[in-house]
Structure 1
């Protein structure tokens, strides 16, 4: 055989051997995980369940507060209401629902402030704090909610607040 043919033949055997070895090694390797593990998925579902439970509890409390604070509704004839309004010079549609909504928002803001101030006082953010904050956040006005969350996140980032668990702040 000619030396150039032998060299080419040996080179092709070497390349095939290395390629085969690499192919065999890749078949032995464990596949990379495609997504979250079952444990992580269960933890996410548990966190969602806790959040929903807190929201339902908050709505139950709000409903109980509303039912206790409201006076019984007296239904009068529309003509009697119009006559009374004209006689007194008062507007026909009172702003009572707006006042109740404003008071509810102020109460929710006060509860949220209390939770954050208490946590900042201890320097710890507990699971109970998370649940209490989740219960009041949906009913708070947007500007106050953002200010409260900004205060909470800033305290966490500055290290003045450490969560007991590795979960979300709210």
Structure 2
């Protein structure tokens, strides 16, 4: 652990609480050359967050230019922990390249959780021909009309008595 790296990391603005927490844990694991290689699971356990959140934060820190990542492989070909190097030349840098937030009404919905699967019917005028629900009942149809369709005299709205 290098106190110089940790003290430097405390002064840097990284653009969010999660990124700051991950950044400080990485700084706490850094050597005197500003390199750290803790497992993402270790960071996640320490911060009580998911490994996926840690991965996202590290990726965002790399995109912002605060860290550089060097992938490592074991002799047997399996993946080892990446070496993350701090760019300590940024100590005087005040502004980070942050992606602008989209206004709430323009945000894209991802996934299927908020999609509707309703089938929208085309709008037609109330008296449109060919709409069976609005047609007069045929003589062969013995269904009674709804009582809400009756006139003040008690007769059905169509003028014919109910069957």
Give the alignment's TM-score, normalised by structure 1: 0.21
Which structure has more strand as a fraction of its residues?
2
TM-score by length of structure 2 reads 0.22
> Which protein is richer in helix relative to its size?
1
